[in-house]
Every structure is written in structure tokens, then in C-alpha cells.
Structure 1
Amino acid sequence: MDKWKGKVAVVTGASAGIGSEIVKDFAKNGIVVVALARRASRIEENVKDFPAEYGKVHARSCDVTSLESIKETFAWIEEQLGSVNILVNNAGIGRKATILTENSEVDKQFADIINTNFTGLVHVTRHAYLLMKKSDDYSMIININSVAGHKVPFFSDGQQSNVYHGTKHAITATTEILRQELIALKNDKIRVSSLSPGVVQTDFFTTGKFLPEDVRMKDHAPALDPSDISNVITYLLQLPYHVNITEVTVRPVLEAF
């Protein structure tokens, strides 16, 4: 990871779970981290005891569902840090509901899922790319996807995961589209990867906001730890600049769905 020491990384959804672990590992390797989340105070709490030799962590409040918030964030990054070398699109949410429900309250829930998981990812990536291109340095975009972005399991009781799977399938397609656009631009310095975990032990599955309380997927398999995902990201970053692993699927042993 020495080649990334002193470089600037942006991590969305950085206040907890996978994002928090990525921030810690990046800082431990001397990377300057812009850690983004709606709850910047929680990021500050997480990093307050980091050793002095760690890379600087800038905790910033950013709502990825708001284009204005994204623009303000990247204007600050350009002014204060100059560039971006690593982007990890990690922000993501899910909610319990069916698309065909008659409950009008899901209108906002579905909009939040789409804007957090997909639209926000696209806007953040566009603004990060502009700074990557300006710096003309080796850079990497890593989209935290999901096994849900490659298949849709069937539950006979009708409790599906609504638009969540659709947003993750969109990330799979968008990652490949970005790769092809970079080819068309003859940009050989920016790589893009999709990282698709199975179940990870985070509050995503314990808040009761996504799947029913029995959390059926976890009944059928153990869960990964957030550090497992961060370790995979470290592996991707350590590869030579000419190597681009475009899709990684990481599942706990015996995962059955």
C-alpha cells in the first residue's frame, strides 16, 4: 500500500460498518481520508483515538441523495486537498416493503433507496472522476455492490426486497459502463471495480429496516465481518496499475442463498 501513502481517498457511508473499517485501514496505511456520511459526528468519534502516524481523516457531513451536498463536498475537497485518488462508493440502505404495496409511505422509502444506492453513487463518481482526471495520477473507483446485484432470490411468502436488488443490479451495469467509457477516453490511469459481498455483520441487517426480523438470509449462512471487505479493498489497491479486477464476489463459507 506504500504507493497510496499520502494520496486522497473518499469513502461514502463512512460512519459505521464496512465504511468505518475502510476508513481505519486507509488511515493506518497513511492515506488521507475524506470520510463522508450524514452523521459526521459519529465518524469523528470513531477516529478520535487513531495514532498520530495514521493518515489524516477529514470527517464531512454529506448526503449522497442531494446533488447540492455532493457538489459542495467535492468543491471543498478540491480547494483543501486538490485531488482524489481513491473513491469507495459504500453508502447503501434497504427497507422492508413490496413494490406493489398499497401503503403510500413507501414512496419516500423507495426514493431514498434509489437515490442512496444508485443515483448518489453516479453523482459522487462523476465529481470524483473530474478531480482524478485533473490530477492525471493513478486512481481507483471501487463500488460496494452486493450478491443481490447478480441474482434475485425468491421468497414464497411475498416478502421481496423491492427496489433494493434493482439498485444493486444497476451498480453492476454502471461499473462496466464506467470501464467502457474509460476505454473510449483512452484513460489507462483510472481503474473501476465492483465488490459484491454476501451477508456482512453490520447494523444493515439488525435494524429491522430491510428484511423481516428473522433475517432469513442469515439463518442460512454465517456472516462476513466488515474487516473482510476492507481486506479485499486493500488487496485490489495493492495490485499493479495495469491490473483491473472488475468484479469480486466475497461470501462467507457455507452461504446458501
Structure 2
Amino acid sequence: MLYTRILLTFASRYVVWAFHEAGAELRRDDLFYPSMIYRFARTYPSAKTQQLAETRLLNLAEALGYEPSPHRLNKQSREIRPFSHSELPAFESWAASRSTDRARRDSYGLLALAGGAGLGATEIAAVRGRDLTRTPAGWVVRVTGKAPRSIPIRIGWNSYADIAFEGLGDDDYAVIPHRKESSREIALMHYGARYDGPAIRRLRITWIVDQINVLPLASIVYAAGFKNVSSLLRYAPLAKVMPEVELHALLRSTGATQ
């Protein structure tokens, strides 16, 4: 009886928070994602209460049919796992196999913006037709919000943008335009998990890791929408050291000259 009362207390508070603060819709399949549960648990000041809320709500989520999640936020948030290049072709098959034209366009758009341009869910949720330009060299997306910038979609990902953004009006949202503005971001965060596709977060991580071995630090910070270089520290273990001969040649050619 006590267990049930505690569970109902957490569940009722969670539903109110998810609707008013996270912008989730009041539907069972939109409410109990583990990542959203982790965010809610952190609203409690006590570590003990955080753990209790997390455990009870994750158990409820599993009972409702969500995939069990053994990891906790403090571990998961530090995890940097880019997709391997061998995994990427499967995402095109996933997008192509979606059951409706709208779902296919949304899936291709997600791939183009997250995997092809490194945008996060918040940024993708705000992209409209007027922010997208098709040039002879490929698509360019104008990012608005806290880190405004202009980013080209990578070669190899432009074909996804061609499918996703064909006929898009200037005021139309690029991805899941049918969702309410208040819930579009949270829906995108869980889009991959809900439809058995890639997570936006991992697509963005893959994009960043591909850039750290090519671009200067300041350029990566700008392109990724970071505030400063310290945001790149957690990606450092995945950076590659170039062969010594190439490194020496490059070091000799840089810096001030007399």
C-alpha cells in the first residue's frame, strides 16, 4: 500500500511536470521515456529522493511497455558513442521503410539536419523552410536560437534533404510540422527510440567526432554551436593523432615567421 501511494505521488507530479515544463502531450506513449524521467528526477533537491523517483518511474515505464533502461543519467550523460561508418547506411533503409510519406520526410529530415549538419533536437525543432537554401554545392541550413550560425549539410547527406524539404514553404517547419510547437522538441528527442531509428544525440555526436580531426578548434566550436573550447574536452579521447611525418611537416609550417 505504501509503495503504491509513493508511486502514485511521483507519477502524478511527473505527469504535471511533463505537460507543463517539458511540453509532452498527455498520451501514454509520449510520457514515460527514460531520458525524460531522468530530467524530472533531478528536479528534487535530495539525492535520495531523486533515486527513489527515478527507480519508481522507470519501473512504471517498463510496466507500460517501454524498453528497460539500466543506466542512470550521471553515467549516460558522460557517454560519448558515435555511430560507426558501417552503421550509417542502415539509417537510409530505416527512413525509406517508414509507412507514410510524412514519416519518410520527417526521418530523412532528421538524418539531414542531425547527421548531415550536426544540429541538436532544440535547433531542429526551430528550423523552417526559410532557413534552408539549396545551392549548387548542396544544402545550407541557417540555425537560429542561442548559437546562430550557417552550416552546410555534408556531402552524402544532401540527398536526404532533397527528399525531406522538397516543396517546403517558408513558414513550414522542416521536421514533424504536425506537432505542436510546445511539444516538437521533446518529440524529436525521443523520435529515434519511438520509431526504432537513430537518436538525434548520437547523430550529432558522430558529426562532431568527424569534425575534430579536420577543423581548427575555433571553427568546430562555432560549427557545433558551443560557447567555448571546453565543450570539446569530452570528445578528446576520440580524436586521432596524425602520422609523425605529417605532424612534423605541419608544425614546421605554422606559426610566426621572421
The question of a shared fold, defined as TM-score above 0.5 by the shorter chain, is answered with: no
The structure with the largest strand share of the pair is 1
Return the index of the structure with the highest Cα Rg.
2
The structure with the largest helix share of the pair is 2
TM-score by length of 2: 0.29
